[in-house]
Structure 1
Amino acid sequence: MKSYVKIGLLTLSSIFIISLFTGCGALHTAIKKRNLDVQTKMSDSIFLEPVAPEKQIVYVRVRNTTDKDIDVENEVKKAFEKRGFKITRNPREAEFMVQANLLQVGKSDARTARSALESGFGGVVLGAGIAAASGANSAKSYAAGGLIGGLVASVADAMVDDTYFTMITDVEIRQRPLEGETIVQNANANAKQGMSANVNQKINTKNARWKIYRTRVVSTANKVNLEFTEAKPKLVEGLTRSLSGIL
């Protein structure tokens, strides 16, 4: 009888030790990522010419082509007004134009966010590889800790999710040429028409009306078990600060 008790205690001790080792990764994540971390980065720096206060007039247009209900345009306009800029609805009156398009908003991971930033304006936006990464981690847990340890690790991983939400935005900034400046622009465009046709365009513009700059802004929110309702206002705040800080 004593031998059975010893074997039972030994088994329970083994399970407890396995659970400690397999759950430590989830525990580490829960502690390290307990606070919301929001970062906004720009792929390319933009330097504009300073203008007199009476010329601080900006036209703002922010499009949202994602499936998320997000209003950034009004927030950006308010931020410009706080900095002393006049907002106009007529592009002909504007000294600056700030146009942006929200390309993607949703769950992601650090690698995907970094790739989107490095791709720059107009670059490819990839989907997140969260499922594949989770599967790989689970497989390692089963191999290292055995069936029981794998089950414990899976439960721990399911309860502790290292969540990223990413907002990817392409931005175009335009400024009127200064007095005495002459701008010559050459542009090439390759537009698809259906599945089998392309339209190639070459545009040469002398005495162009705008100097054009382009960049990409990537905002990320990271926290354990993060919900989009918590991430959304911080992502909008980061993008707003970035766009309004360009001028």
Structure 2
Amino acid sequence: TLIGLALASVMALSGCSAVTTAVKKRNLEVQTQMSETVWLDPVGADKRTVFVQVRNTTDKPIDIMDALSTKLSNKGYRVVQDPDAAHYWVQTNILKLDKMDLREAQGFLSSGYGAGISGAALGALATGAFTSHNNTLAAGGLIGATVGLVADAIVEDVNYAMITDVQIVEKTDQQVQTTEQANIKSGSSSSTQTTLTTLDNKKRFQTRIL
């Protein structure tokens, strides 16, 4: 599926949301987990087009756009600049990359897509795309960037975690109804709930990568 490819692509590069452990004797262990599994139906070669958008709302200078696009191209997908010309959109937001206790990292993962990240800005995800085949889009690992952060911690076990939200949008011939709800707080005792319902031809899948 497309999700497997996107996640696997980022993993192979260096990991969209990897938990990296620099252990004694310079051993490096990298693990990648998803909060939810996303399955996409296989499509023909003419639909293997993807528009990719990557956002980084951390304070770390990480850029996976070129690496992700190259990996997708190597897998037979055509990365396009026009979202209207793509069958898939892949929207990725790197939320947090820092030294982190594993229990804290698991808490971020289990809270799922869109949940708040303390100390990290949650930027809105704009259009992004991905194309599918028989692979599974599960995000991957920015190992290269993480290795640099771990370079000064090879004497003891140190855990670094990257938290990334991923949204996959797939175009379909059918009409899709999407309902979004937002609670806007007004002071400490009241809030306003807003509901927006739209009709379009896009299916949306969301997951969080650790």
The TM tier, using the shorter chain, reads: 0.5 to 0.7
> 2:95 is matched with which residue?
103
SS at the partner of 1:42? coil
Q: Choose which of 164, 172, 193 in structure 2 pairs with 1:169.
A: 164
Output the amino acid matched with 2:84. Answer: R
Q: Residue 181 of structure 2 corresponds to which residue in structure 1?
A: 188
2:209 aligned residue (209, 212, 217)? 217
Instruction: Specify whether residues 161 and 51 from structure 1 end up closer, same or farther in structure 2 by C-alpha distance, changes over 3 A only.
Output: same
CA distance in 1, matches of 2:154, 2:209: 31
Q: Deviations over 1:162-184 (max 9, x none)?
A: 2111110011110001x3x2312
CA–CA distance in structure 1, aligned partners of residues 63 and 188 of structure 2: 34
- Give, in whole Å, the separation in 2 of the partners of 1:106 and 1:71: 16
Cα offset, 1:193, TM superposition:
7.4
- What RMSD in Å do the two structures reach over aligned CA positions? 2.5
CA drift of 1:191 comes to 4.0
SS at match of 2:201: coil
2:198 maps to 1:205: yes
State the 1:113 CA deviation. Answer: 1.4
From 91, 104, 107, the equivalent of 1:115 is 107
Q: How far 1:160 sits from its partner (Å)?
A: 4.8
Rounded to whole Å, the distance in 2 between the matches of 1:74 and 1:106 is: 22
Tell me, in whole angstroms, the C-alpha distance in 2 between the residues paired with 1:170 and 1:42.
10
Shift in CA distance, 159/192, structure 1 to aligned 2, threshold 3 Å: same
Looking at structure 2, the residues matched to 216 and 123 of structure 1 have their Cα atoms a distance apart, in angstroms, of 9
The gaps in structure 1 that reach 5 residues or longer are 1-28, 128-157, 219-247
> Relative contact order, CA 8 A, sep 6+: which one is greater?
2
Change (3 A) 1:191 1:78: farther
Letter in 2 for 1:60: V
Find the aligned partners of 1:191 and 1:86 in 2 and give their Cα distance: 40
The correspondence of residues 39-78 of structure 1 with structure 2, limited to 5 A, is 39-78=31-70
CA contact (8 A) 2:165 2:209 kept: yes
- SS of 1:99's partner is strand
- Structure that is richer in strand per residue: 2
Residues 118-133 of structure 1 mapped to structure 2, 5 A cutoff: 118-125=110-117
Give the aligned length: 155
Amino acid at match of 2:193: N
SS in 1 for 2:104: helix
**TM-score of the two chains, using structure 2 as the length reference:** 0.66
Percent identity of the aligned residues? 37
Amino acid at match of 1:35: N
Q: Which residue among 56, 76, 84 is the counterpart of 1:92? A: 84
Structure 1 residues 159 and 55, CA gap change in structure 2 (3 angstroms): closer
Secondary structure of 1:69's partner? coil
AA in 2 matched with 1:173: I
Moved over 6 A (4+): 193-197
Deviation of 1:108 after TM superposition, in Å, equals 0.7
Residue identity in the other structure for 1:176? K
